[in-house]
Amino acid sequence: MREDKQANRRLIVEKEKGHSNLKSALKELKSVKLELARVDGIRSEFMSRVSHELRTPLTSLMESISLVLDGTLGKINDEQGDFLALAHKDVKRLSRMVKELLDISRIKSGKVELRMCPLNISLVLESVAKDMRREAAKKGIGLKVGLSLYPLVVYADSDKITQILTNLVDNAIKFTPDGGEVRVMAGAGTEEGCIEVVVTDTGCGIAPENLGEAFEEFASFDIGTAERKGTGLGLAITRELVELQGGEIRAESKLGEGSEFTFTIPRYAISLFSAEHLDDEIERVKKRETRLRFRRMLMMILIVRVDNLREIYSREKGNEFLRELANGLNAFVRHPYDLAGVYGDDGVACVLNEVPEDKIFAIEKRAEEAVIGHRFPVALDIRRCVVVYPGDGSSGRELLSKIQQKVGRGSG
């Protein structure tokens, strides 16, 4: 009995000692975590300050070299031109590195501002490809783009999507040897409610042991020249920007054969004519009107309503019909912010922003001809609507009310 009591006391003492040790360990772990956060904060602040301090003189230096290189300040000989071209190339690379340092410090400190809006990602992709084709051509690389037949409207930040695509395509070109190929494709993702973009190259590839680190900050592999190595921040920034917008990114690669980077972005799922959407359009124009020098936005909305659609077709077949009709209207989409899509239960709509007033009638006629030109097995009731900001309303709600007055029942 006495031995049992002693054993119990020992167990209690050991248990208390264990609790005490666990408390100490947790306290020490918390202290280490706080210290790591403090050091990371100092690092981010240092990177931000250095980047800011370097950016202005680098911009000045690059512009000065460009002026001399272009012969604006006087004639230069071939040897001088070669040296200046090399200097310009290095300063440009250094400027890009400074920008990446500034970007990652902003992301880590939570200072990235997103301007989310409905966006036709196909048009952004085509714009990026157009800008990158010159770089690809220098190495004899074929840059091919494959897009869905249907509008690929996502809910994202236009500038950030452009940066993501530019980073991935630039990387693909950089690590693909002369005469190789880079492909960019966009379409419906395997995940419901997402658009998927895939960038594939025939480059040097990434070793299996390094693939897991591809999106880590300052990732550096044995890939050749310093120019190709860069800061090791491009993919880290890309991942952060994708995830900030509700998407995901992954990589597949075979050493010596090439790499494939795939990212997803949520589809635009808000009602096409919601007051919130129209408010977004108004805010965008307010920011752009000073630069574009116009004082009002002309928003043209074409509505195509289909009589007795639900009586003639099942819901599934009717929705398929509407998607085909929306795809026809997509021919009028000119800018990333223009939209074409299903409207309500029995119609489609096309929204064109910044339409010149003298072109409204011509655009209406062309749209009518495009729709009527199809031989559909159902009667089409075409209703058009032109809405002007601020003449027809100073808010999304007022513009929505005007739309519904002109075309009848609205979608939301």
pLDDT per position as a tens digit, 183-208: 999 987 777 778 899 999 999 898 88
The CA distance from 98 to 58, in Å, is 9
The CA distance from 137 to 217, in Å, is 30
Does the pLDDT value for residue 223 go beyond 70? no
Residue 382: what pLDDT?
66
Does the pLDDT value for residue 48 go beyond 80? no
Residue 65: pLDDT band (50, 70, 90) is confident
- Residue 35 neighbours by CB under 8 Å, 6+ apart: none
Residue 202: what pLDDT?
94
The lowest-confidence range among 196-200, 227-231, 242-246 is: 227-231
| C-beta of residue 349 within 8 angstroms of C-beta of residue 272 | yes
List 299's β-bridge partners, or say none.
Answer: 387
Residue 88: what pLDDT?
79
What are 325-346's pLDDT values in tens digits?
A: 776 676 666 666 677 776 666 7
Does the pLDDT value for residue 319 go beyond 70? yes
Does the pLDDT value for residue 372 go beyond 70? no
Residue 411: what pLDDT?
41
As a whole-number percent, the residues of the chain with pLDDT over 90 amount to 17
The predicted model gives 385-394 an average pLDDT of 80
Residue 73: what pLDDT?
79
Does the pLDDT value for residue 224 go beyond 50? no
Residue 258: what pLDDT?
92
> Do 116-266 and 275-407 fold alike per CATH?
no
Does the pLDDT value for residue 294 go beyond 50? no
Q: Which CATH class is domain 116-266?
A: alpha beta
| C-beta of residue 123 within 8 angstroms of C-beta of residue 151 | no
The predicted model gives 267-293 an average pLDDT of 66
| C-beta of residue 104 within 8 angstroms of C-beta of residue 236 | yes
Residue 211: pLDDT band (50, 70, 90) is confident
Residue 269: pLDDT band (50, 70, 90) is low
- Residue 271 neighbours by CB under 8 Å, 6+ apart: 277, 411, 412
Residue 311: what pLDDT?
73
Residue 225: what pLDDT?
47
Residue 321: what pLDDT?
76
Residue 286: what pLDDT?
72
Annotated domain spans of the chain: 2-108, 116-266, 275-407
Residue 167: pLDDT band (50, 70, 90) is very high
- At the fourth CATH level, the homologous superfamily of domain 275-407 is Reverse transcriptase/Diguanylate cyclase domain (3.30.70.270)
Could you give the 3-state DSSP secondary structure of residue 329?
Answer: helix
The predicted model gives 107-127 an average pLDDT of 82
Fold of 2-108: Helix Hairpins (1.10.287)
